[in-house]
Amino acid sequence: MLGELLFKTVIASIGITIFAVIFGLLFKGIDRKLVARMQMRVGPPIRQPFLDVIKLMSKETIVPENAVGWMYNLAPIICLASSIILLLYIPIGNFEPLLGGHGDIILVIYIFLIPALAMVAGGFASGSPFATVGAQREMITMMSYEFPLAVVIIAIVWKLSNIGGDIFSLQFISSHPIWEEVGLLGLIGGIILLLALVIVTPGEVAKIPFDVAEAETEIAHGLLVEYSGRNLALFYIADAVKMFAMASLVVALFFPYNLSDFIKLDEIVAYIADFLFFLFKVFLVMLFSISLVRAGMARLRITQVVSVYWITITLIALFGLVLLMWDNQYSIKWW
């Protein structure tokens, strides 16, 4: 029995890995095409990320002379593996997470740190001064966006504690949309928390205007300046998968609805429809939190990144939390 369960888990994990890589690269290609069109450029074809990965995999992997070899080669593997593991805990469409359980929302927050830490370790291990500066910037950025992200999660969990249950389970949170548990003040607070999380998203996935760790015009691509071949391809795939995972987390927290909740469908049709609807929601989250922001803004300075997250976004998230607290005292219905 245990062997059968282990076999199913391994097969499901392989399936999720293939799913994460394919759709991560696909959405990365769509993002690049949309941003190019917004900036009046033709842009690369949507399949370009797949072509880039294939080309990088065929190139020679060069290890710098001054690099710490084992750490330099291990960093991209850890980065990709941890990015894929994230999706094992996030509900996808009508499917329950493969490794979901008590406290997994806290675990997910910590796992989101691992890809960034792996890139920092790889940057330091490469022995390049540009990569060292990029690694230092990545650590500062990481410490900046984690606080408002934690405030958003705590606010949602605290609000759902009123109905009881396993409130620290991501599956439980996605099964009880916050919009159905709040009044008018809570609705406003939820929208503010969503806004804070949307602004945290480009920082979490290192996209403009928060990509200070990879600033090409300043530090020659920073963290990844010495990487090439297979190792660079793994980082490239990890970036796409993490971007998809972050958007999936936003969907699970704020938009967990399925089409089968509103339309009566056969079981198999419901699974397919909910899965496609999930991909559509992920696309919308990436459009508003990554593509539109990247097309319309320039890169911030590292000092601006810190002040934006530690002061502005943290205060916004705390204000949303306060509104949820007031919502318990002043029960004003919005529906």
Q: How do residues 175-200 score in pLDDT, each as one tens digit?
A: 888 888 888 888 899 999 999 999 88
pLDDT band per the 50, 70, 90 thresholds, residue 238: very high
Res. 221: pLDDT tops 90? no
Asked if the structure places residue 335 within a domain, the reply is no
Task: Write out the two tokens for 6.
Answer: 């282990």
- Give me the phi and psi of 196, to 5 degrees please: -60, -45
Q: Is residue 43 left, alpha or beta, with left meaning phi > 0 and alpha meaning psi from -120 to 50?
A: left
Please tell me the total count of domains within the chain: 1
DSSP bridge pairs for 313: none
Query: Considering only 23-37, 153-167, 188-202, which range has the smallest mean pLDDT?
Result: 153-167
Asked if the structure places residue 141 within a domain, the reply is yes
Question: What pLDDT is stored for residue 248 in this prediction?
Answer: 92
Closest alpha carbon to 153 in 165, 167, 163: 167
- Asked if 190 and 179 touch (Cβ cutoff 8 Å), the reply is yes
pLDDT band per the 50, 70, 90 thresholds, residue 317: very high
Q: How do residues 137-151 score in pLDDT, each as one tens digit?
A: 888 888 888 888 989
How many other C-beta atoms can be found within 10 angstroms of the C-beta atom of residue 44?
14
Q: Is 67 helix (H, G, I), strand (E, B) or coil?
A: coil
Closest alpha carbon to 156 in 186, 184, 131: 186
Q: Residue 331: exposed, middle, or buried by beta-carbon count in 10 A (0-12, 13-18, 19+)?
A: exposed
DSSP per-residue letters across 272-302: HHHHHHHHHHHHHHHIIIIIHHHHH-PPPPH
CA distance 98 to 93: 13
pLDDT band per the 50, 70, 90 thresholds, residue 37: confident
Tell me what the mean pLDDT of segment 233-257 comes to. 91
Tell me what the mean pLDDT of segment 91-105 comes to. 81
> What single-letter DSSP state applies at residue 264?
-
Question: What pLDDT is stored for residue 222 in this prediction?
Answer: 67
Asked if the structure places residue 287 within a domain, the reply is yes
Q: How do residues 71-93 score in pLDDT, each as one tens digit?
A: 888 989 999 999 999 888 888 87
Question: What pLDDT is stored for residue 272 in this prediction?
Answer: 86
Question: What pLDDT is stored for residue 26 in this prediction?
Answer: 92
Question: What pLDDT is stored for residue 1 in this prediction?
Answer: 62
Question: What pLDDT is stored for residue 299 in this prediction?
Answer: 77
Question: What pLDDT is stored for residue 166 in this prediction?
Answer: 79
Question: What pLDDT is stored for residue 237 in this prediction?
Answer: 92
How far does Cα 117 stand from its chain's mean position? 15
Question: What pLDDT is stored for residue 196 in this prediction?
Answer: 92
pTM, to two decimals? 0.89
Domain that includes residue 227, residue range = 2-329
Amino acid identity for residue 243 in this structure: M
Q: Is residue 170 left, alpha or beta, with left meaning phi > 0 and alpha meaning psi from -120 to 50?
A: alpha
Share the mean pLDDT of the chain: 84
Q: Residue 325: exposed, middle, or buried by beta-carbon count in 10 A (0-12, 13-18, 19+)?
A: middle
Closest alpha carbon to 32 in 46, 22, 20, 18: 46
- Asked if 131 and 123 touch (Cβ cutoff 8 Å), the reply is yes
CA distance 198 to 154: 16
Question: What pLDDT is stored for residue 218 in this prediction?
Answer: 62
Residue 43, H or E segment: none
CA distance 184 to 330: 9
Question: What pLDDT is stored for residue 126 in this prediction?
Answer: 82
Q: Residue 96: exposed, middle, or buried by beta-carbon count in 10 A (0-12, 13-18, 19+)?
A: exposed
Q: How do residues 1-16 score in pLDDT, each as one tens digit?
A: 666 667 777 787 888 8
Q: How do residues 41-63 score in pLDDT, each as one tens digit?
A: 888 899 999 999 999 888 888 88
Asked if the structure places residue 334 within a domain, the reply is no
